[in-house]
Amino acid sequence: MSALLPEVPALPDRPLIHPGKRIFDFSIAILMLALLAPFCVFVLPLLLVLGKWRLQGREAIGARGRPVRLLRIVATAPHGATATNTAYQDFPLLFALLDGRLSLVGPRPIGPHELNDFGGISHPRFSVIPGMFCLWGLRMRSNINYGTESDADLEYVRDSSLRGDFGILGRALLARLYSADAGHCAATQSISGIRFLNLSMDNLLDAIVCSLNNRMRTHIAFVNPDCVNIAAGDAAYRASLSKCDWVCADGIGMKIAGKLLRRPIRQNINGTDLFPRLCGELAKSGHSLYLLGARNGVAEAAANWARSHYPALKVAGTRSGYFSESEEPALLQEIRMTGAQVLLVAMGAPRQELWLERNLETSGALVGIGVGGLFDFYSGRVPRAPMWLREIGGEWVYRLLMEPGRMWRRYLVGNWVFLFRIAIEKLTAGRKKGSAA
Ligand code: UDP
């Protein structure tokens, strides 16, 4: 293994670990080992001797590229079948925590075969001790693992502090309560009769660029629990969603629904997180963007944000989302004249989806996306929830606090209605399965 790893003098000369962090890691390891002492002294040796469980080792790359060996407990499989995980699989990691091979929080301990994904051993992630909990893992669980693991590791190393570690640890433990690793996801998933394309953000961006390059007209909708509630009572909206080319699952509520129904949702795909990435892609590809929606001046302010962050981006035009039916033909003509290829419509659900269904073709745009309150965020009119709150699925709490008058019904009532709807769906799905068997 060490032959695979070059020497690492290039790494920044910074302390590998804060003394407080080491004391914390050590204390937690001692505490957990003390709590699990009966398991460690009686149960584990017995099951190992009986051959029910065995220890499986793997090589990982530790701090400064040093090889470390990590063990886990697996259940012995009959006749050479693949060993399966056990509830105690990570127990031996406590010893790695005790002797400093691992920290509680740090970048994921990767294997040598993954080194290339991080551009080699000079990646700053190797300047700190790998951890049992990591920022990337937390974001995977919360469904907001956009970008790459390497970026998340860079962010972790850049902002690394004892306080930050406590935050990651707390959020990671909290996220375990309500989320699940998406694991293997079906390509499409149906929740409450709405068919979702189970994409990642990167897949969606690639697909948008592909639509633009192939001149394929594409209508995209983001559906959150509030939209599911609206769709349940609005046949026109339901029909419009069924005609959309791609419907994406937006928000932690959809992830929870996917977990309860055992139909895992790959990623939280929403307009607000898509926007900067889309601007970046369009700036590269040269396609132009029109922003339609929100109050007077808000779309223009969002466009200014995009222009300042992506100078090569062509913003074809902007317009507020408050207009009468009689103004619509002139508006459509205006959009058409700009030659915009991507049209973002921020008029809230279901209005934006119905509007795009009727008018996308006439507008001349190739890709139309309903984006809800996106312009409000990027214009600075409404602040967006801080990242730590998004990582625990609490963005809705922040939106509620920011606009209580507008949001209380959506969240304080709507969330429960949505969960009730999902519970009924689970019960009826279970019953159908039962009667089919
Ligand atoms: N809006 C609009 N025209 C309308 C109604 C609403 O442009 O006739 C705008 C409104 O100003 C806000 C957005 O639509 O900017 C709706 O945002 P909301 O927070 O409801 O969407 P979400 O992000 O929750 O989907």
Residue 351 CA to ligand 1 center (angstroms) comes to 9
Answer yes or no: do 205 and 319 share one domain. yes
Is residue 214 one of the residues assigned to a domain? yes
Answer yes or no: do 198 and 335 share one domain. yes
Answer yes or no: do 354 and 419 share one domain. no
Answer yes or no: do 351 and 421 share one domain. no
Answer yes or no: do 414 and 351 share one domain. no
Residue nearest to atom 2 of ligand 1 (CA): 347
Answer yes or no: do 360 and 429 share one domain. no
From residue 291, alpha-carbon distances to 123, 196, 306, 319 in Å are 39, 25, 11, 6
pTM of the model: 0.85
Is residue 142 one of the residues assigned to a domain? no
Range of the domain at 56: 2-137
Answer yes or no: do 251 and 313 share one domain. yes
Q: Which numbered atom of ligand 1 lies nearest the CA of 410?
A: 24
Residue nearest to atom 4 of ligand 1 (CA): 347
Q: Which residue in 187, 204, 202 sits closest to 371, CA to CA?
A: 204
**CA pair distance 124, 139, nearest whole angstrom:** 20
CATH number, domain containing residue 199: 3.40.50
Residue nearest to atom 10 of ligand 1 (CA): 294
pLDDT at 64: 87
pLDDT, one tens digit for every residue, the chain (437 residues): 333 333 434 445 554 567 889 999 999 999 999 999 999 899 999 999 998 898 999 999 999 889 999 999 988 877 666 666 777 889 999 999 999 999 999 999 999 999 999 999 999 999 999 999 999 999 988 889 898 999 999 999 999 899 999 999 999 998 887 766 666 778 899 999 999 999 899 999 999 999 999 999 999 999 999 999 999 999 999 999 999 999 999 999 999 999 899 999 989 999 999 999 999 999 999 999 999 999 999 999 999 999 999 999 999 999 999 999 999 999 999 999 999 999 999 999 999 999 999 999 999 999 999 999 999 999 999 999 999 999 998 999 999 999 999 999 999 999 999 999 999 999 998 777 766 66
Is residue 196 one of the residues assigned to a domain? yes
Residue 322 CA to ligand 1 center (angstroms) comes to 10
Is residue 152 one of the residues assigned to a domain? no
- Best residue among 371, 376, 403 to mutate for probing ligand 1's pocket (most ligand atoms within 8 Å of CB) is 376
Q: Which residues line ligand 1 (CB under 6 A)?
A: 293-295, 321-322, 346-349, 351, 372-373, 375-376
Is residue 145 one of the residues assigned to a domain? no
* Last residue in a domain, options 98, 115, 137: 137
Is residue 309 one of the residues assigned to a domain? yes
Residue 407 CA to ligand 1 center (angstroms) comes to 12
pLDDT at 434: 66
* Last residue in a domain, options 103, 137, 171: 137
Answer yes or no: do 341 and 408 share one domain. no
Residue 247 CA to ligand 1 center (angstroms) comes to 18
Answer yes or no: do 235 and 124 share one domain. no
3-class DSSP state for residue 436?
A: helix
Answer yes or no: do 293 and 420 share one domain. no
The residue whose two tokens read 């606090």 is 401
* Last residue in a domain, options 331, 347, 379: 379
**CA pair distance 278, 373, nearest whole angstrom:** 16
Domain total for the chain? 3
**CA pair distance 123, 341, nearest whole angstrom:** 38
Is residue 143 one of the residues assigned to a domain? no
3-class DSSP state for residue 108?
A: coil
- Sign, CA dihedral 312-317-321-325, equals negative
Answer yes or no: do 269 and 120 share one domain. no
- The neighbour count for residue 277, using CB atoms within 10 Å, is 16
Answer yes or no: do 336 and 361 share one domain. yes
Is residue 128 one of the residues assigned to a domain? yes
